[in-house]
A and B are shown apart, each in its own frame.
Chain A
Amino acid sequence: MPNLGLIFIHFSPELILLVGALAILAYDLAVRGRDALQPWIALVTLVAAAAATVALYGSAAGIFESTVNIGSTAQPEISTVREGAFVSDGFTNFFRLISALTASLVILSGMKYMHGRTPFKGEFYMFVVFSALAMNLMAGSNDLIMIAVSIEFLSITSYILTAFLRDDNKSIEGGLKYFLFGSITSAAMLFGLTYLYGIAGTTSLPDLAAVIARPESDLVSGLDSLVLPALMFVLAGVGFKLALVPFHQWAPEAFEGAPTPVTSFLSVGPKAAGFAVLIRLFAAVHGSESIGVAWLGILASIAGITMVVGNLAALPQTNVKRLLAYSSIAQAGYMLVGIAAYFGASLTGLDALGSVLYYILAYVFTNLGAFAVVIAVEQASGSSEISAFNGLARRSPMLAVSLAILFLGLLGIPPLAGFFAKFAVFSAAVTSGMTGLAIVGVLTGVIAAGYYFNVVKAMFLNAPAEGWTPIRTAPTLNFVIVLSLVMTFVIGIGVQPFLDIANSAAAVVLPAAEAIVDGH
């Protein structure tokens, strides 16, 4: 008889999200979509999930090292061995907090926006909560099938959210493009996963890691050489979620077409969860002899190309949502630099992964804050073109200053959060001997200044359009903006505690990888 109590405790954030999402649906049915209480149910659910996560964080001092395996045939118990489909450990907890945070901020910034545009209020909040659930499942995936299913789960909720404004052609177009692209990359990923299964004879990540780490002679001849092609197919699937070049083409249309709160979610949520999967999966195959240098080269070149293409393509954009789409592509490239650095040097792997997690944390606040300002401007002027930002410094000094600071944060100007994040990933790259990648990174950062300052220039240097009016923003939106702004400074100046959190979450993943390295 499995220890159900332990499962309930360590799966509680996910259960809360599931119950909350269904409750929104039930409530919406009961009031026939009229009432406006749905977002608050969603928020309470997310806060409860976050609180449960914090409780898990604090419940045992050793929670970072220990784990609860869920979905395994063995007794679920707190152990340092990972088995089963889903593990609840410090790494999962880190991403549980990220997903709850992302979903809450998206809901807070989107409440007014969605209410004016669609009658289907309940569904929107339900899908956002489900997306948070999917992100949690991705972060805790410990099994190839779980990875595939949870990515698919998040994809489907994302497609629906993108096409949520069903009377708006752009929204439909974005959703469809997203869906078509996603189906193909999902198929490629599944294909790659079957190869991994074929090689290892198991879908469990720890078992896979153990098989792959064995010396080549132990494996059926030639099988090890299949790891690299298999990973490339998987990378297509995960790269799609992360919008890495060349799997990024869906992003500009989906970002522009989707309702802006959804865009803000897409730019952060799937990326964070995608990186969680990437880290877990790659840590498992870290030990393979065949993937070594070639794999490193592939990751490094994808990171390089993503930074270059993302930043260059953002330059000519005249629509801020598209601009931010490309900027978020570039940001994923910077995070991938940290992942590549992790593969580059196993000894400094901890710092490299920690830097990626710190980057994600900084990025969540900075990017969601920036989108909140875009939502406010779009609400006021009905457009997200750069020209709509003309003279924003007059129309709403608070919004203009906030967006400028958040953009400087994305650009990596000290002392904002984005600066130390970039510093950390580039440090990881330099210490792993990938100075070239770091050079590409910092130089593309200068390109980024070009497009961020296009918007800054419009806000501060250009005059507002004739007959301008001051902008008033909803209190919920103001809350998101102020919170993001404060956190951009707090994370950027008071670095250490956040770095500690990131490093300790990263450390959970690492022992598996280190064990594999030792096994050589």
Chain B
Amino acid sequence: MEGYHLLTLITFVPLIGMAIVMVLRDDQTIKTASLIWSLIPLALSGLLWFGYDKQAGGFQFEYLAHWIPSVGINYHVGVDGFSVPLIFLTCLLTTISLWYSNDVIHDRVKEYYALFLLLQVGMLGVFVSLDLFMFYVFFEIGLVPMYFLIGIWGGPRREYAAIKFFLYTLAGSVLMLLALIAVAFNTDSFSMIRGSMTSSVIDAAAIPFSSNPTGTAAIMAFLGFLVAMLIKMPSFPFHTWLPDAHTEAPTAGSVILAGVLLKLGTYGLVRVVMPLFPAAFSAMALPIGFLAFTSIVYGALVAMAQWDFKKLIAYSSVNHMGYITLGLVAAVAAVHAAEGEALTPEALIALSEARQAAIDGAVLQMFTHGIITGALFLLVGMIYDNRTHERDFRKLGTGLWRTVPRYGTFLIVAAFASLGLPGLAGFVSEFLVFKGAFGVSIAGNPELLILTALSVLGILFTAAFILWKIIQMLLLGPQNETWLDTPDLKRNEMGMLIPLVAFMLLFGLYPRPILDFIHPASASLLETMDIDAAHGADADSDASTTTEPLP
């Protein structure tokens, strides 16, 4: 009994919470009840964190039941090293968001809390699904509550932002639906587990389109999934819904949006796209890498141009998600050995280590971006919702650190973590991404080398806008007279921030506990994709064809 229903429990406990919220009458009771209720999945996800056997790796806590047997659709849940940290992140951020909403939401409380718990079901469902159909179902479920959260409790342009968010992400998902049908039709299976990642429960399902993995059909299906994920992340050029949604969403909505919902897209890349379409992804690595580079640099530059605190953080997400794409691109990018030579075994090992570092970094970045940006949005909310009702840097003015020292301290830690200061969590993930990307490029991909080198500029720009806008304009300098009476953070507000900051410090100084989850999972992902074997074979055959005619 390994707790086969633990995942089902984690996923659907919030749904029961939603039902409880529906029958409660008093606003404060609803708030307290849902906050306490959200501790159950949080505790369960802690149980999952410690219950997952990192030595064994692979998929654990698996449970499979037939759902629609005549079509081959199963209720299939299970977690590996990629999903455990993200499930914990989801539960943590949900609890913090509900806690934050306690003082901020006064209107239509019941609807708000019910929708928030429904949203949590959708997010957790995505992370536990091992069936493509289920994955899609949960991927979509989150859309509706988020639409209402933005549309009802959002800022002045909430209606526009809400429908834009909904239509954009729906457009992405419906393309994924077709791609999903194509994959299922091609493999006669909705299982997401392929090749060596296969657990004992499921028979090995072939990689779709394996007869022609870069043919038109495969590329179309790949693009269907890819675009859906790029929209969700979002990556340039599909990012335009994000600033609107983030800026208009209520603070807790922004926290969840940035902290978890964006991760559904990147998680989809590692969970679905890379195992299903390794060849197609590899073939299109450079164009996608270019999108990653654009997201990194363009996102940072646009963030620098913002005067709205919240919008700045929103655009910085585009930048940070770009690193994830870059890491994943590096993990699949083709490597060409020098003319007429195959890679030496040592070079292959180094290459595989570089690829693994890139995936490690990308997945770690999902977690670290979740806690860092979650904290930053909370900090924006704390100053805007409860204190100044002002988000413009020019009006918020200077010297805020002296006015509200505790607020300033938390903001500085979070901002430096976002900037990638060594010793804080953001540094580790970005370092791993660049280490991996450079390693792969140097092994033999000059185009990727250029993209990676240019992407480093993004770090520079990120540092620039954080130092200039947040540190210099907001925190340092003479105190702005207008805000002299602003009260500093209350104890409960610090309570929300402390866990996030603690994780920034912990994983910044000692990332091992979380990398122990991610590292084996990325190893098995690499093994499934088998990128270098294919290229190695190419190199071998190239070598043989070029050398044979010679006397």
Chain A residues with a Cβ under 8 A of chain B: 393, 408, 413-415, 419-420, 423, 426-427, 430-431, 435, 438-439, 442-443, 445-446, 449-450, 453, 457, 460-461, 495-496, 499-500, 503
Instruction: Give the docked Cα–Cα distance between A442 and B177 (Å).
Output: 8
- B181 to A503, Cβ gap below 8 A? no
> Which of B141, B162, B166, B170: most chain A CB closer than 10 A?
B170
Q: Which residues of B contact A414 (CB under 8 A)?
A: 136-137, 140-141
> What are 23 of the A-B contact pairs (CB < 8 Å)?
A393-B111, A408-B144, A413-B143, A414-B136, A420-B68, A426-B178, A430-B178, A430-B185, A439-B178, A443-B171, A445-B170, A446-B170, A449-B166, A450-B163, A453-B147, A457-B163, A460-B151, A460-B152, A461-B152, A461-B159, A496-B68, A496-B69, A499-B68
Q: Does B442 belong to the interface (CB within 8 Å)?
A: no
**B227 in contact (CB, < 8 A):** no
Chain A residues closer than 8 Å to B141, beta-carbon distance? 413-415
Contact B170 A449 (CB under 8 A): yes
Give bound CA distance, A499 to B147, whole Å: 31
- Across-interface contacts of A413 in B (CB, < 8 A): 140-141, 143-144
Contacts of A449 on B, CB cut-off 8 Å? 166-167, 170
Chain A residues contacting B159 (CB-CB under 8 Å) are 457, 461
Given the known A-B contacts A427-B181, A435-B178, are A446 and B152 also in contact in the complex, defined by CB atoms under 8 Å?
A: no
Per the bound structure, the CA–CA distance linking A183 and B113 in Å amounts to 55
Which B residues lie within 8 Å of A420 (CB)?
68
Interface residues in B, total, Cβ within 8 A = 35
> Is B175 close to A, CB under 8 A?
yes
The interface residues of chain A, by DSSP majority, are classed as: helix
Which residue of the partner chain B has the closest CB to A443?
Answer: B174
Q: Which 8 A-B pairs have the closest CB atoms?
A: A442-B174, A414-B137, A495-B68, A430-B181, A446-B171, A427-B181, A461-B151, A414-B140
B182: chain A residues at CB < 8 Å are: 430, 435
Given contacts A415-B141, A499-B70, A500-B70, contact A450 B167 (CB under 8 A): yes
Q: Is B468 an interface residue (CB 8 A)?
A: no
Closest to A428 in B: B181
Since A413-B144, A457-B159 are in contact, a sample of 13 more A-B pairs with Cβ atoms closer than 8 Å, ordered by chain A residue number, is: A414-B137, A419-B140, A426-B178, A431-B185, A438-B178, A442-B178, A449-B170, A460-B148, A460-B151, A461-B159, A495-B68, A495-B73, A496-B68
Q: Are B166 and A453 in contact (CB under 8 A)?
A: yes
The residues of B that contact A419 with a CB separation of less than 8 Å are: 137, 140
CB of B307 within 8 A of chain A? no
Closest chain A residue to B163, Cβ basis: A453
Any A CB within 8 A of the CB of B67: yes
Measured in the bound complex, the distance between the Cα atoms of B221 and A438 in whole Å is: 13
Chain A residue at smallest Cβ distance from B151: A461
In the bound assembly, the distance between CA atoms of A473 and B418 in angstroms comes to 54
CB of B519, distance to nearest CB on chain A (Å): 34
Which of A415, A426, A460, A500 meets B181, CB within 8 Å? A426
What distance in Å separates the Cβ of A287 from its nearest Cβ neighbour in chain B?
26
A438 to B159, CA, bound (A): 30
Residues of B within 8 A of A (CB): 67-71, 73, 111, 133, 136-137, 140-141, 143-144, 147-148, 151-152, 158-159, 162-163, 166-167, 170-171, 174-175, 177-178, 181-182, 184-185, 220
Interface of B is mostly: helix
Q: How many angstroms between the C-alpha atoms of A496 and B184 in the bound complex?
A: 18
Give chain A nearest CB distance to B109 CB in angstroms: 13
A445 to B141, CA, bound (A): 16
Contact A415 B137 (CB under 8 A): yes
A496 to B71, CA, bound (A): 9
Complex CA gap A457/B166 in Å reads 12
A413 to B375, CA, bound (A): 32
Assembled-state Cα–Cα distance A408/B118 (Å): 15
Residues of A within 8 A of B162 (CB): 461
A503 touches B174 (CB 8 A): no
Residues of B within 8 A of A461 (CB): 151-152, 158-159, 162
Closest B residue to A499 by CB, please name it.
B70
Which chain B residue shows the least CB distance to A496?
Answer: B68
Which of B140, B152, B163, B177 touches A426 (beta carbons < 8 Å)?
B177
A460 to B112, CA, bound (A): 12
Distance in angstroms between the alpha carbons of A495 and B70 in the assembled complex: 10
Q: Is the CB of A496 within 8 A of B166?
A: no
CB neighbours (8 Å) of B143 from chain A are 413
B176 to chain A: closest residue by CB:
A442
Q: Which chain B residues lie closer than 8 Å to A503 at the CB level?
A: 70
Residues of B within 8 A of A439 (CB): 178
Cα(A499)–Cα(B70), bound, Å: 9
In the assembled complex, the Cα of A419 lies from the Cα of B173 at a distance in Å of 13
In whole angstroms, what is the CA distance A376 to B473 when docked? 56
Chain A residues in 8 Å Cβ range of B181? 423, 426-427, 430-431, 438
What is the CA–CA distance of A393 and B111 in the complex, to the nearest angstrom?
10
Q: How many angstroms between the C-alpha atoms of A414 and B185 in the bound complex?
A: 20
Cβ distance B155 to chain A, nearest Cβ, rounded Å: 13
Q: In the complex, what residue of chain B is closest to A493 when comparing beta carbons?
A: B67
Provided the pairs A413-B143, A430-B181 are in contact, do residues A445 and B174 lie with their beta carbons within 8 angstroms?
yes
Of A414, A419, A427, A445, most buried by chain B (CB within 10 Å of CB) is A414
Give chain A residues whose Cβ lies under 8 Å from the Cβ of B148.
Answer: 460
Q: What chain B residues lie within 8 Å of A443 (beta carbons)?
A: 171, 174
Interchain CB contact (< 8 A) of A427 among B170, B185, B220: B185
Return chain B residues, CB-CB under 8 Å to A442: 174-175, 177-178
Instruction: Output the least CB separation between A434 and chain B (Å).
Output: 11
A457 touches B151 (CB 8 A): yes
Docked pose: A343 CA to B465 CA in angstroms: 60
The minimal Cβ–Cβ distance linking B173 to chain A, given in whole angstroms, is 9
Cβ A496 vs Cβ B170 within 8 A: no
**Which residues from chain A contact B175 at a C-beta distance below 8 Å?**
442
Give chain A nearest CB distance to B229 CB in angstroms: 16
Give the shortest distance, in Å, between B253 (CB) and chain A (any CB).
15
With A and B bound together, what is the CA distance between A408 and B147 in angstroms? 12
Roughly how many angstroms separate A420 CA and B177 CA in the complex, as a whole number? 11
Residues on the B chain within 8 Å of A435, using CB? 178, 182, 220
**In the complex the two chains form, what is the Cα distance from A439 to B179 in whole Å?**
10
Whose C-beta in chain B lies nearest to the C-beta of A503?
B70
Residues in B with CB closer than 8 Å to A499 are 68, 70-71
| Smallest Cβ-Cβ distance to B143: which chain A residue | A413
